[in-house]
Structure 1
C-alpha cells in the first residue's frame, strides 16, 4: 500500500463491493448442492449466499478488513473469528452486523506479527491479506494457519508471487511457485490459479502475480 494511502481509507472504500469469488467457490465446493443453485441465479455466484452448513462451523478470516466476506459467512450460519490490524474497520463491521447474529462474530484487533494460536477452524480465509505479513513473521503465522485447520478444513487464500508489481516492498512477503507448493504440502488442492498479468488496483494500474488457492486438510491424518 503506498505511503500516502491509509489502510482505513482502503478498507472503507471496499464497502459495497461483491464478495470475493474465491470464497464463494470454496463454499460451493464444501456444499456441492450450491453448485446447482449458482446456475439458476442471475449474475452467478456474487448474488447467492450458500445455505448454512449443519453444525454451525467455525471460520477464521485473517486480515478481514471491512469484513465483506465475514458477513457472507455469518449469513451462511458460521461462527467467524475476524482478525485485522485496523480497529476502525473492525468497529464498522461490528456496527453493521445484525444483532441477531452478532454472538457468532468474534473480532480480534491484531497485526499479523501479534497473532497467537488460532481457534480450531473448518475454514481459514485470507483475501489478498497474507502478503502484507512481514517476512520475519510469515512462517510463524503460516504454522498457526495450518495448525488451526480441522481435519477436512479448507484454506482459502491469495499469496503474491515474485513477479508482482509490488515485489520488493518492505514489510511484504512474496513467494516463488516452488515455495507456495511447499506451503501447501500435505493438503488436497481443490482450486489453483496463477495470475500473472497486468491489471488495476485501488491505486491504479498494476502487474499482478497472485496464487489463488483453495486447499483442504485431509479428513484423516
Structure 2
C-alpha cells in the first residue's frame, strides 16, 4: 500500500470495531492454559498495523514488541493505547527485510503480514522468526496461497499448502485451516482470498 492508502486504512479501522485475529485468540488461549503458574510472557507482533492484535496481547498482560514499516501504524497505536499499557509495549519502525534479530519470545504473531515480505528475503526472515521462538512456545499468523487475487504481485510471497507445512518442521500444528473465498479488502475492494491460518507450537528440547 502507498502511504495515502495506509492513512485511509487506519481511518476506516478507527470507525469500525475491529477484533483481534482468530489465530491470535487461539494462541492466547493455548499459552494461558499452558503457563502454570503464570509467567511473564514476551510477544512479538509483526506488521502490527492498526494495533488490534497488539492491544489484545497487552490486555492479557503480555510484554509486546510491535513492529511495522509504516510510521502511521505506530502513531496509530500510540494514539489509541491506554496509558496503563505503555510500560509493557515497545515499538520498532522497520521493514521485515531490514530486521537482523528478534528477541527470544513466547509468541510471534503475524496476522496477514508475512505475504508482504519480498520473496528474496522471506527465507532468512522466516529463519529469524523460527529461531526467536522459545521451545514449547507459539507462532500465530497467516500465509497467502497461489489462488489469491494478489498472487501476480512479484513483490509479495505466496505459498502452497505443502510449502506452508514445510515451514513448520520442528513445530506441532495446533491449528491449520485453508480458506479460499471471495471477499473484500478493508478499503472495500473486491478480492479473492486464499489464506492459510496457522497456530503452531515449537517442539520442546528433549533433556
The TM-score, its normalising length taken from structure 2, stands at: 0.90
Give the deviation of 1:127 after TM superposition.
0.6
Structure 1: gaps spanning 5 or more residues: 34-52
- 1:93-172, aligned counterparts within 5 Å? 93-172=77-156
Query: Which one of 175, 197, 207 corresponds to residue 192 of structure 2?
Result: 207
> Could you say which residue in structure 1 is the equivalent of 2:201?
216
Structure 2 CA distance for aligned equivalents of residues 151 and 30 of structure 1: 13
Note if contact 1:12-1:66 (Cα within 8 Å) is conserved in structure 2.
Answer: no
Structure 2 CA distance for aligned equivalents of residues 84 and 11 of structure 1: 13
Q: Which has the higher contact order (CA 8 A, sep 6+)?
A: 2
> Could you say which residue in structure 1 is the equivalent of 2:18?
17
> Which region of structure 1 is more displaced relative to structure 2, 13-22 or 79-88?
13-22
Note if contact 2:10-2:76 (Cα within 8 Å) is conserved in structure 1.
Answer: no
> Could you say which residue in structure 2 is the equivalent of 1:37?
none
Instruction: Indicate the RMSD between aligned Cα atoms, in angstroms.
Output: 2.1
Query: Which one of 50, 59, 62 corresponds to residue 78 of structure 1?
Result: 62
Structure 2 CA distance for aligned equivalents of residues 196 and 62 of structure 1: 23
- 1:26-65, aligned counterparts within 5 Å? 26-32=27-33, 54-65=38-49
Aligned residues: 203
Q: For residues 140-186 of structure 1, what are the alpha-carbon distances to aligned partners after superposition, in whole Å with 9 as ceiling and x for unaligned?
A: 11011001100111000100001111101131100111211111111
Structure 2 CA distance for aligned equivalents of residues 5 and 99 of structure 1: 28
Runs of 4+ with >4 A deviation: none
Structure 1 CA distance for aligned equivalents of residues 110 and 171 of structure 2: 17
Give the deviation of 1:74 after TM superposition.
0.6
Give the deviation of 1:98 after TM superposition.
2.3
The TM-score, its normalising length taken from structure 1, stands at: 0.85
Q: For residues 10-34 of structure 1, what are the alpha-carbon distances to aligned partners after superposition, in whole Å with 9 as ceiling and x for unaligned?
A: 234233311212211221122349x
Give the deviation of 1:4 after TM superposition.
9.3
Q: For residues 40-68 of structure 1, what are the alpha-carbon distances to aligned partners after superposition, in whole Å with 9 as ceiling and x for unaligned?
A: xxxxxxxxxxxxx8222000000000111
Note if contact 2:21-2:53 (Cα within 8 Å) is conserved in structure 1.
Answer: yes
Structure 2 CA distance for aligned equivalents of residues 62 and 115 of structure 1: 11
